[in-house]
A and B are shown apart, each in its own frame.
Chain A
Amino acid sequence: MTVRQSKILGGLLAAAVGDAMGAATEIRTTGMIKERFGGYVTDIVQPPEDTWAHWAKAGMVTDDFSVSYFSAEDILKNGGVVTEEVAAQAVIRWSEHPLYSQCAGPTTRAAIAKIRGIPLPPDKHDRLLCHNSRASNGAPMKVGCVGLFDAGDVDKAVDDALVMCRVTHDNTIALSGAAAIAAATARAMDSRVSYFEVIQAGLYGAAEGFKRAEKFARPVAGASVEKRICRAVEIGLRYQGDFEKAMTVISEEIGGGLPANEAVPAAFGYIAATAGDVMQTIHMAVNAGDDTDTVACMAGYIVGALCGVERIPARYLQMIEKMNDFELQKLALGIDALLK
C-alpha cells in the first residue's frame, strides 16, 4: 500500500471508528459516560438501550459515517466529480437503507422530503428568512470524504463541500463548518504535513466557506465556526498532554452538540490537544459528551488522513467492514486511482 492509499484508507477508517465508538457515548455527559461504562470508552462497544443508536451492535456506524460512505461511493462512480445531483442521489439512496433512515437528523430529514417532493406540514418557521436551527452539524459530518477526492487542493475541497452540502444544509454556518472539515482533510492528504498546517487549512476553509456560501445560501445568525475553532485550538494547545483537562475545558466552553458551530470547532480543539494523534483524538471526542459520534467522525477523517491507516488498530478495519457490509479498502483504492 502506498503512502497515499494509506492516508485515504486512514481517513475513511478513522471516521468510521470515531462514529462507531461514539455511537455508544452519544448524548451523555462525560460523567455519565464514565459511570455507565466504568471509565472512559477507548474501544468499540455496544451502544446502550437509552441512546439514539440503541439499535446498533458494536461496530455499526450511525448516520455520520454511513451518509458519508454512500456519498463517497456515488462520487467515485461519477469519476470523482462532485455535483448536486450526485449528492442528492446519495442522500436518497442512504435514506432508503432500513437502518439509517431512523437516524436522520432534523435538517437532513426535511431536505430528503424536499428532494422527494413530499410536502411537509406547514410550520410557523416556514416564513423565516433565517432558520438558525438548521445550522447543524449534518453538513460537516458527511463531508470529510470530499477532502480525500480533493487531496492537497484546499480550494477545490471548499467548493466541493459547498456543492455537496447545500443540497441538505443550505445556510452559511453549516456550510462554513463543512468547508472547514473538507479543507483540513484535503490538506492532511499532503505529504510532510503536520497538524498545524491542517488546522490552518481548516480555518481557511471555515472563512472561505462562509464567504463563498454568502453568495447563494440562506443567511443564518449564529456563532462563528472560524472564531470558535481559534478558541478551541487555543484551549487544546494550552492543555496539550493533559487529556482530561483539555477535553473538559473544550466541552465546557466550546461545546460538542448538534450546532455546526460547536461540533466542528471541538473537533479541531481535540486535534490540537493531541498533536494530531489519531486514536487520542478519537478517544477525546468520544468521551467529551453530547454529539460525540459526530465530532469523532469529523475529526477522524482529518487525523486519519494525516497519520495513515497504520496508526489505527488493524482489527477495526475487519470489524467495520464486516458489521456494516462496507468495503473501505476497495473504496480507498478507487479514490486513489482517480488521483493523478
Chain B
Amino acid sequence: MTTKYDRIMGAFLGCAIGDAMGAPTETRPIALIKEHVGGGDYVRDYCLPLPDTLSAGQPKGQFTDDFSVSYLSARAFARAGGITRQAATDALIEWSSYDRYYINHSGPTSKRAIALCKGEPVDDAQDYACCRNAWATNGAGMKAWVAGVFNSGNLDKAIDDAILMCQVSHDNPVALSAACAVAAGVAAGMAQNSTVADVVKAGLYGAREGYARSWRFARSSAGASVEQRIRMAVTIGTCYAHDFDRLLQEMTDIVGTGLNANEAIPAAFGFFVAAQGRVMDGVYMGVNCGNDTDTVAAITGALCGAFSGAGEIPPQHLPFLSEVNDMDIRQAVEEVDRVTG
C-alpha cells in the first residue's frame, strides 16, 4: 500500500525533479531543446543551463520559482497548522529574500504581489481597467499542488485552500481556476484507490469550481477556459500516449505549454494521462514539451507523484536535489505528513 507519507514525498519530488530538470530547457521550442540541450535527443537528466536562458549561471539541479515557492509555502503552512492567507503571504515574502530565486525567476504577477505584500509602491497607472488579462499566468497553478497535498480526498477544501493560498499573488478567475484544478487533481490522487480518471475528473471540477468561486471576489479576467483546455489536453494525452514525439508536438502546438494559466496547467493534465500517473514518464514529457517546460514538468510531476507515490522515483534524486538547493526536502515532507494527521 502507498502511504500518505509516500504520496506527499511523491508530490514533492515530482515537482522538484520537474522544475530542476526543466530549468535548462525552459523558453525553447522542442526542436531547439533537442538540438542545443539534449545533444540531438530529448533531455532526461539534469543539465547545465545555457547562457541564453532564464536559469543562466545556475548549477545543475537548481530550482527555479516553481518548486522553491511551493516548498517555502508548504513549510509555512506546516508551521501554521494549515493553509492560511497570512502563511501564504509570509512564504511569498520569504521567497523574495532569496536572490537566487527572486532575481531570475520572479514572474510578472508574483513580482507585483510581493511588492504589494511588502507595502512597496507598484505601477497603478492601468488600474482603471476592469480586466487585467495578462495576469492570468501559471504562477498560481505551479504552487497549488500544495493545497492538494494538505487535503487528501477532500476536493472542496482543496479548492478553497488553493484560492486562499493563491489569491495573494494571482487574484483573477483564470489563474485561480487553474490553481484549483491542480489542487483538486492532487487531492484526488492522494486518496487510496483513486484512478487516473478520478484525477482528471477532479481537475475538471476544480477548474470549474475555482472559476465560479473566485469570480465573486477576484479581479476579472478574460481568457480561454482552463476547463475546456484540460479536455483538449486530455484528449491528446489519450490519443498519443504511445507516440512520444507526436504527443509533445500536438500538446505544445494546440493546447500550448506557455506562461498562461490556460496553457501550462491543461498541458500538465494531458501529460499526467499520457504517463498514466508514472512520475518520471510525466516529468520527461514536461521537460521536453517546449516553452514553459519547468512549470509544466513541475505540475505534471506533482500530479503524478501524489497519485503514484515516491516508490518508483530513483533514490538518487532526493539527496542530489536537497544538496544542490540547500533544502531539507525530507523534513518538509515529514512536517506536512504530521500536520495533515
The residues of A with any CB-CB pair to B shorter than 8 Å are: 27-29, 32, 48-52, 54, 124-125, 127-130, 132-133, 219-224, 227-228, 231, 249, 251-259, 261-262, 289-291
**Residue B225 interfacial (CB < 8 Å):** yes
> What would be 17 A-B contacts, judged by CB atoms less than 8 Å apart?
A27-B130, A28-B222, A29-B221, A32-B220, A54-B128, A129-B28, A130-B27, A132-B27, A221-B30, A221-B252, A222-B29, A222-B252, A222-B258, A223-B253, A251-B224, A252-B229, A257-B260
In the bound complex, CA of A249 to CA of B227 (Å): 12
Within 72-104 of B, Cβ neighbours of A (below 8 Å) are at 103-104
In the bound complex, CA of A283 to CA of B171 (Å): 30
In the bound complex, CA of A48 to CA of B128 (Å): 11
In the bound complex, CA of A32 to CA of B130 (Å): 10
Contacts of A129 in B (CB 8 A): 27-28, 32, 50, 52-53
Within 222-272 of B, Cβ neighbours of A (below 8 Å) are at 222-225, 228-229, 232, 250, 252-260, 262-263
**Residue B291 interfacial (CB < 8 Å):** yes
Contacts A28-B220, A133-B259 supplied; 9 other A-B pairs, CB < 8 Å: A27-B131, A32-B130, A127-B51, A132-B27, A219-B32, A224-B252, A257-B260, A258-B133, A259-B258
Contacts of A132 in B (CB 8 A): 27, 258-259, 291
Total residue contacts A-B, CB cutoff 8 A = 120
Give chain A nearest CB distance to B89 CB in angstroms. Answer: 25
Task: List the A residue with the shortest CB-CB distance to B173.
Answer: A29
Cβ-neighbour of B254 out of A228, A249, A256 (below 8 A): A228
Task: List the A residue with the shortest CB-CB distance to B251.
Answer: A223
Within 44-65 of B, Cβ neighbours of A (below 8 Å) are at 50-54, 56
Give chain A nearest CB distance to B261 CB in angstroms. Answer: 11
Cβ-neighbour of B263 out of A220, A223, A249 (below 8 A): A223
- Give how many B residues have a beta carbon under 8 Å from the other chain's beta carbons: 42
B224, A128: Cβ atoms under 8 Å?
A: no
Cβ-neighbour of A253 out of B29, B56, B229 (below 8 A): B229
**Residue B129 interfacial (CB < 8 Å):** yes
**Residue B10 interfacial (CB < 8 Å):** no
Task: List the B residue with the shortest CB-CB distance to A135.
Answer: B258
Contacts of B254 in A (CB 8 A): 223-224, 227-228, 231
B51, A252: Cβ atoms under 8 Å?
A: no
Task: List the B residue with the shortest CB-CB distance to A125.
Answer: B54
The residues of B with any CB-CB pair to A shorter than 8 Å are: 27-30, 32, 50-54, 56, 103-104, 128-131, 133-134, 220-225, 228-229, 232, 250, 252-260, 262-263, 290-291
A29, B32: Cβ atoms under 8 Å?
A: no
A258, B27: Cβ atoms under 8 Å?
A: no
B291, A222: Cβ atoms under 8 Å?
A: yes
The answer to whether residues A49 and B128 also contact, given A127-B56, A132-B27 and a CB cut-off of 8 A, is yes
A252, B222: Cβ atoms under 8 Å?
A: no
Task: List the A residue with the shortest CB-CB distance to B253.
Answer: A224
Q: What are the 7 closest A-B residue pairs judged by CB atoms, nearest first?
A: A255-B224, A224-B253, A221-B291, A252-B225, A223-B256, A129-B52, A221-B29
In the bound complex, CA of A19 to CA of B291 (Å): 31
A252, B28: Cβ atoms under 8 Å?
A: no
Cβ-neighbour of A130 out of B28, B103, B130, B262 (below 8 A): B28
B290, A221: Cβ atoms under 8 Å?
A: yes
Task: List the A residue with the shortest CB-CB distance to B126.
Answer: A52
Cβ-neighbour of B104 out of A124, A255, A261 (below 8 A): A124
B222, A27: Cβ atoms under 8 Å?
A: yes
In the bound complex, CA of A220 to CA of B290 (Å): 9
Contacts of B291 in A (CB 8 A): 132, 221-222
